[in-house]
Structure 1
Amino acid sequence: MDMASTFIKPMHPEGRKFVAIFAVIALILFVIWEPLGWLGVLMTVWCYYFFRDPERVTPDRTDLVISPADGVISLIEPAVPPAELGMADTPLTRVSVFMNVFNCHVNRAPVGGTVQAIAYRPGKFFNASLDKASVDNERNSVRITMADGRDIAVVQIAGLVARRIVCFTKPNEVLAPGERFGLIRFGSRLDVYLPEGVEPMVAIGQTMVAGETVIADLKA
């Protein structure tokens, strides 16, 4: 790996129009006052960095649950999966990964399996690190059925700054572990509902890397 690839990462296509907008604003600011123009350049670089989409090396074991997002574990608690997914109302262990505005926001499948349901629900925009964000905030829920018949729910939750949830996958599509399935713009959170009886292998405050960090072992 050379020095350039260490600092310059590929950008997700979703970010191209935003970087273009920031760049145009930077040019206008240069015309108004040069110091403002350089501030615009910095914001343009940040926007590019926000939409970066680096390659990840996902563990090749199919019995692992992988983090769907970069960020920090903010909550681990029992909770009922979103009702719109049609899962049982039995509380499951919910692991929440909070993403700040400096994290990579491309979301990846926590397990391999078939997408059984996708359900979008509009809502509010509380700080995504708060517990009530899972219930009150705008969200997009995905139910994935694994080869052994068990289900995992992964929920994209908009945050205080985020105003757009993007989901790339569709019902009946087969996802591989670590495969890109969505993106949330500008600060947000991902919730993973583990199958009944599965315990997490992570702790609150732990840093996650999407597509790489193991959240749980389905065989443990």
Structure 2
Amino acid sequence: MTIHKEGRVLLAVLIIILVGINGAVYYFTNPESGWFTISVIASLIVFVLILQFFRSPARPVSDNDIQVIAPADGKVVVIEKTIEEEYLKDERIQLSIFMSPVNVHVNRMPVSGMVEFFRYHAGKYLVAWHPKSSTENERTTMVVKTAGGQKLLVRQIAGAVARRIKWYVKEGSRLRQGEEFGFIKFGSRVDVFLPLNAKINVEVGQKTKGGVTVLAELPGKSNES
């Protein structure tokens, strides 16, 4: 288990702040009052809570051209047909994964392929399960074209707690299935828009593991390496 790069500076600053707070408590209060002990315990709890937001477990990088793997740890909250209006302009199966504050926040490529389209949108911070969060919240939209010609749209969505989306791709980038493409600080949601002929392998309420759980299968023959 390692600490993700997005959290290293924040955690270092947090340590300095907590050390300063505990030093002040020790200096300005009576040691026998117990306030210093309470301060230290509270500081440790805060640090551990923030630390777990930025854990980055190693996950295998796979390459199965018909499987669509989960882009995030979390829980499946939506599986429904919808019209994707930003880029694909057609009917799709939308599969949404909600990332709670206790989940790993790393986002991984659901398929191997080339990034055909990428956009960042500033926006609101509605709760992630709000019906309008996918079109009004801070978000990114990425369309990946596989070697077999299939196009998948993946959308990172910030929520009420999350205030920062990070991405490490651009149009023309080629990434393998399971590779890291982004990070959402403190949780939120990731949507995947699948073709209508995809075979869905999960159900609403099911927990997912980013880079591991197979969400769906695309039509075609697998060339897994």
The reply to whether residue 79 of structure 1 matches residue 82 of structure 2 is yes
Inter-partner Cα distance in structure 2 for 1:129 and 1:91: 21
The reply to whether residue 11 of structure 1 matches residue 14 of structure 2 is no
Contact 2:108-2:210 at 8 Å conserved across structures? yes
**Secondary structure at the counterpart of residue 40 of structure 2:** helix
Offset of 1:144 from its aligned partner? 0.3
Contact 1:22-1:43 at 8 Å conserved across structures? no
Range with greater deviation from structure 2 (72-81 or 181-190): 72-81
Aligned equivalent of 1:24: 16
Aligned equivalent of 1:113: 113
Per-residue CA shift, 1:134-183, capped at 9, x if unaligned?
12211101110001111000000000100000001111111100100000
**Secondary structure at the counterpart of residue 28 of structure 1:** helix
**Secondary structure at the counterpart of residue 65 of structure 1:** strand
**Secondary structure at the counterpart of residue 189 of structure 2:** strand
Contact 2:157-2:190 at 8 Å conserved across structures? yes
Offset of 1:50 from its aligned partner? 1.0
Q: Which amino acid aligns with 1:25?
A: I
Q: Which has the larger radius of gyration?
A: 2
Aligned equivalent of 2:44: 41
Inter-partner Cα distance in structure 2 for 1:78 and 1:124: 24
Per-residue CA shift, 1:81-100, capped at 9, x if unaligned?
351xx32x212000000001
Contact 2:71-2:211 at 8 Å conserved across structures? yes
Matches within 5 A, 1:50-69: 50-69=53-72
Offset of 1:219 from its aligned partner? 2.6
Residue identity over aligned pairs, in percent, reads 37
Matches within 5 A, 1:1-220: 9-31=1-23, 32=25, 33-34=35-36, 35-83=38-86, 86-87=87-88, 89-219=89-219
Inter-partner Cα distance in structure 2 for 1:53 and 1:213: 17
Inter-partner Cα distance in structure 2 for 1:120 and 1:82: 15
Inter-partner Cα distance in structure 1 for 2:91 and 2:202: 19
**Secondary structure at the counterpart of residue 126 of structure 1:** coil
* Residue ranges of structure 1 left out of the alignment (5+ in a row): 1-8
Offset of 1:41 from its aligned partner? 1.8
Q: Which amino acid aligns with 2:113?
A: G
Inter-partner Cα distance in structure 1 for 2:84 and 2:52: 32
Range with greater deviation from structure 2 (131-140 or 24-33): 24-33
Contact 1:26-1:38 at 8 Å conserved across structures? no
Contact 2:53-2:102 at 8 Å conserved across structures? yes
* Residue ranges of structure 2 left out of the alignment (5+ in a row): 26-34, 221-225
Contact 2:125-2:160 at 8 Å conserved across structures? yes
Contact 1:25-1:40 at 8 Å conserved across structures? no
Q: Which amino acid aligns with 1:204?
A: V
Contact 2:22-2:39 at 8 Å conserved across structures? yes
The aligned length equals 209
Moved runs in structure 1, 4+ residues, more than 6 A?
none
